[in-house]
Amino acid sequence: MDIVAILKEGIEVSKKNYVIFFPTVAVAVVLAVLALIIVGAGAVSTGLMGRGGMQSPGAFMSLLGAMAGGLFVIGFVGTILGLVAHGMTVGMAKEVLDTGTTSLSSGFSVVVSHLGQLFVASLLVGVIVFIGFMLLFVPGLVASFFLMFTFVSVIVDNAGAVEAMKKSYATVRANMNDSVVFFIAIIAVGAVFAIANLVLGVIPVLGQLIGLAIMGIFGGYASVVAVRVYTEMEKTAGAPAGSPTMKS
């Protein structure tokens, strides 16, 4: 399998079907705006406290509690919206590879029909990877590697969460060389996007929003490539999943 060629094809397909980027970009921007509102409100309140408007320790602790609560809500909402956005991009990527086109409505329909299994898969994979990273990092990296196609399998194979995890493991193990190359390549591409995000992050507000949008674009692109690689691996193994060819 030519992973480099697939990465290049992914760029062309994504450019011609840029609607794939909308879910992840929209979630990134919405969460960034919410975070800015909470941080900004906290900064204003802190300024008022410094001018004598709220000088008691109790008032200060109340302010910190309110900000922490707001950030927790953002984190929770972000997790749910991120799950929906990722599921939509995978579903839309599969449709693009099958038919050459896609839409937000079809992506939303796909994610709604698989939302329960995506949630369970996200929880299970998240716990496993978290525990792995707590155990001297390497086990978490290995878990991420073998479970990297779990979400793709839920959508492409219409599999349950546990079944999708097993299929991801089996697919990676049966295509070890290609899986290693793809894993390293997608991390490298993600690192480039992350650096761009950091550079833009020094620009107040606008740069940060653009940077987050760029990371959203990476999310859509990664979904296209992951679905393409997974279906190709399944085709090679003699058990097709989705479309074996990329259409644009």
- What pLDDT is stored for residue 142 in this prediction? 96
pLDDT at 71: 72
Quick: pLDDT tens for 13-56: 888 899 999 999 998 888 878 877 776 665 555 555 555 554 55
Neighbours of 207 (CB within 10 A): 14
Categorize the per-residue pLDDT at 159 as very low, low, confident or very high, splitting at 50, 70 and 90: very high
* 91 within 8 A of 121, measured Cβ to Cβ: no
Tokens of 149: 């196609």
- Would you state the pLDDT for residue 15? 87
Q: What pLDDT, on a 0 to 100 scale, did the predictor assign at position 83?
A: 92
Mean pLDDT of 137-151: 95
CA dist 131 and 9 (Å) reads 35
Q: Which of 65-69, 204-208, 211-215, 238-242 has the highest mean pLDDT?
A: 211-215
Q: Quote the CA–CA distance of 191 and 187 in Å, as a whole number.
A: 6
Mean pLDDT, range 174-201, rounded to an integer: 93
Q: Mean per-residue pLDDT for 120-124?
A: 95
Does residue 183 register a pLDDT over 90? yes
* Amino acid sitting at position 178: D
Which pLDDT value is given to residue 241? 46
Per-residue pLDDT averaged across 140-166, rounded?
A: 96
Average pLDDT, the chain: 85
Q: Rounded mean pLDDT of 169-197?
A: 95
Q: Which two tokens stand for residue 44?
A: 């204003």
Map residue 15 onto helix, strand or coil: helix
Q: What is the pLDDT of residue 51?
A: 53
pLDDT in tens, 69-106: 777 777 788 888 989 999 999 999 999 989 989 999 99
Letter string b/e over residues 159-191, b meaning 16 or more CB atoms within 10 A of that residue's CB: bbbebbbebbbbbbeebeebbebbbebbeebee
- Kindly write down the DSSP assignment for every residue of 81-130, as one continuous string: HHHHHHHHHHHHHHHHHHHS---HHHHHHHHHHHHHHHHHHHHHHHHHHH
> How far apart, in whole angstroms, are the C-alpha atoms of residue 233 and residue 153?
12
136, pLDDT greater than 70: yes
User: So where are the chain's domains?
Assistant: 3-236
Q: Is the pLDDT of residue 115 over 80?
A: yes
Q: What is the pLDDT of residue 242?
A: 45
Above pLDDT 70, what percent of the chain? 83
User: Does residue 224 register a pLDDT over 50?
Assistant: yes
User: What pLDDT is attached to residue 246?
Assistant: 44
Predicted pLDDT at 129: 95
Nearby residues of 225 by Cβ (< 8 Å), 6 or more positions away: 6, 7, 10, 182, 186
128 phi/psi in degrees, rounded to 5: -60, -45
Half-sphere exposure of 97 (CA within 13 A, CB side): 28
Angle, in degrees to the nearest 10, between helices 22-50 and 57-99: 170
- Report the percentage of the chain scoring pLDDT > 90: 54
- pTM here is 0.82
* Backbone φ/ψ region at 137: left (φ over 0), alpha (ψ -120 to 50), beta: left
